[in-house]
Every structure is written in C-alpha cells, then in structure tokens.
Amino acid sequence: MNKAAAVRIAVVGVTSLIGEAVIAEIKQRKIAVAELHALDDERSVGRPLSEDAAEGDSAPVAIGDVASFDFARADLVFFCGRSALSQRYAETAATHAWVIDGSAAFRTRADVPLVAADVNPKVLDSVGARGLIALPGSASVALATVLAPLHALFGLERAEVATYQAVSGSGRGAMDELAGETVAMLNGQKARGRAFGRQIAFNVIPLVDSLEPGGESREERRIWVETGRVLDLPQLEINVTAVRVPVFFGHSLAVHAKFARACNAADAAALLRRSMGVGVIDADSDLELPTPALLATAPDKVYVGRLRADPTREHGLNFWVTADNVRKCAAYNAVSVAHILVNRPQ
C-alpha cells in the first residue's frame, strides 16, 4: 500500500458512541476509503447507520454482522464496541489487517503496542503491514497528552490525579439514564439509578467501574498503568481517584504533578502552547476556564487551565484538564493512529 492508496476499512461496534464518532472522524480527516464496512453484533444487523454517522454518504450503509465478516476484506479495522467483541474477533482480524482497538481488552498486554498518537507515535514503528494496536482509555489519553511535554522539560516524578468523568464514558445507555433521571427529578419523581447502581442526576459518584480487592477501582488502576506505559515511565507513581459526574460529554481532571527540576507556571504554559494536541486557556482569555460544557463541543484538543505553582512543595504544578472523551480522546486518537499507519512509507 502506498501513500495515495485508498484503504478498505471496517468499523466494529459501529452503533456505539465511539463507533459513530470514528466514522465521522474518518470523513472529516478525508482518509481515502475504498470500502467501508459497518459492523456490529446480531442485534444491530440490517439497521442503517445513524443519521450523524451516515451524513454525506451517497447511499445508505447497512450494518453487517461481525460474526460472518471476512476480515481479509479489510486493510484497517477499528474496534469501538464492548471488550467482548474485541476479545472474540480482534486477534483474528489482526492476521489480515491493522487493528486499532479502543476497548480495554488488550491494553495490559506487553506484546500489544499502547498508543496515544499525540504522545508516543514512534511505538507504531514496530508495527508491520498488519497487527494489533491498543488505545488507552480517554482519561489516560487526556492525562498523558499534557504530562508528556512537561516531563520532557522538567522530569516528571509523581502525579496526584482526580478525574471527573462524563457519563458518555459508559455508553449511550448511561447518557439516556442521566437525561431520564434529570427529567424525572425535576418533575418530583425518583431517579431509577440503573446505569450506575445509584442516582447520577444531581449527584457525584466516587467510583468508576468496579472495586478491586485493595480498594482502588479498575479505572483508577487503568489510568495509573496506561499513563505510565504511554509515557514510557513504568515506575511512575500516579495516585488516582476516579469520579463519575452528571455531565454528558467531557472528562475533566485535577492534576498535581511533582517534577525533578525547577519549574514555573509561565514556562509550563509556554511549553504547552507549543505542544501537540494541547490548548491552554489563560485566566485572562474570553473562555477563562476550561469546562466540558464549552470545550466538549470543540473537540480538537486537550485543554489545560488553572495552571499554577504548587504552594506546598518545590517543583510542583497544579492544573485542570478538560477533553472530549468520545471524540478527541477516543475517535480522534484512533483515526490519528490509522492516519500514521496509512501514510507512512511502505
């Protein structure tokens, strides 16, 4: 395949929020597509793509059954659905094509590259003409995108992180739950609390995913492990508390970072302004603060604000991060990895 060649693409889990966003990102980035196969499990077979995903198509695209698809018909496969789909089909697909997996199924496997395109794209140099690539979770992508340039200049030693994660991180059903609970409670009715086991509307839940024996959640462990791996700092200490908040789109993180070398907020801001995939919101800007309500509608960067020195210790910086979890941290990252693979010299 050369740089100008059109690619045959399959998107598995196409009915998910991320699947729809990946198709939209493919179209926006103008990747040359020879064929596009929209795939999902048997529950969605035969349905047309959503209006948003199908926008701009000259003819309707029907969803096919992933179980019967021959992956030899694809050069590039995105897995955007549940981990179960990836576990069942991704390794088979990777014998024929580049497979970019957005689930948690392969993120901890040492033989599978874990890639955030704005942070460690060089990892893709080890991937041949086909193979499996894992993507970090959205909170890990947002965190690593900001920490990477700061580490290069100041030498990152440790990070304390609290995440405030949107309900879209748990899928479309969770978004419907938040909307339904909000309407119900505003009408004097009780919240159902089905998606998260408890009410999410007008609430904050200090748990994302399930608890592990030591008391940390699976999401907290993932952020620690994935961020260290993407930064190539496997011994990095990251202490995380992951929280679910009643926001539809946009993960936010409060970060307290400790560095080996002297640092100040002005130098850090200047560095971040020059960094790939990062936007800095200054206190005197029109936006003033990076919030998901504003910046999840402009999902082209990971945004940083409230950048300041840590008054309690030397070589410390405190800052706030906001990024669109579905489009920037998931779909944009997936398609960026694909763009690198498709356009590199063959």
The yes-or-no verdict on residue 70 having pLDDT over 60 is yes
Q: Is residue 78 domain-shared with residue 177, that is, in the same domain?
A: no
Q: What is the CA radius of gyration of the chain?
A: 20
Distance (Å, rounded) from C-alpha 323 to C-alpha 272?
15
Domain around 70: 7-136+330-343
Distance (Å, rounded) from C-alpha 23 to C-alpha 54?
8
pLDDT digits (tens, 9 = 90+) for 8-55: 999 999 999 999 999 999 999 888 899 999 999 888 787 777 666 656
* CB burial of residue 121 (10 Å; 0-12, 13-18, 19+): middle
Give me the pLDDT at residue 1, please. Answer: 42
Output the CA torsion 126→131→137→138 (10° steps): 80
Distance (Å, rounded) from C-alpha 286 to C-alpha 301?
17
Q: Is residue 75 domain-shared with residue 206, that is, in the same domain?
A: no
**Mean pLDDT, residues 273-278 taken together:** 95
Give ∠ CA 88-90-94 in degrees, rounded to 5: 140
Q: Is residue 167 domain-shared with residue 310, that is, in the same domain?
A: yes
pLDDT digits (tens, 9 = 90+) for 221-258: 999 999 999 999 999 999 999 999 999 999 999 999 99
Give me the pLDDT at residue 2, please. Answer: 46
Q: Is residue 154 domain-shared with residue 285, that is, in the same domain?
A: yes
Distance (Å, rounded) from C-alpha 286 to C-alpha 276?
22
Q: Is residue 108 domain-shared with residue 220, that is, in the same domain?
A: no
**Per-residue tokens: 234:** 């496997």
Residue 114 lies in a domain: yes
Strands in 154-205 per DSSP E: 156-165
pLDDT digits (tens, 9 = 90+) for 83-121: 999 999 999 999 999 999 999 999 999 999 999 999 999
Provide the number of structural domains found in the chain: 2
Q: Is residue 227 domain-shared with residue 290, that is, in the same domain?
A: yes
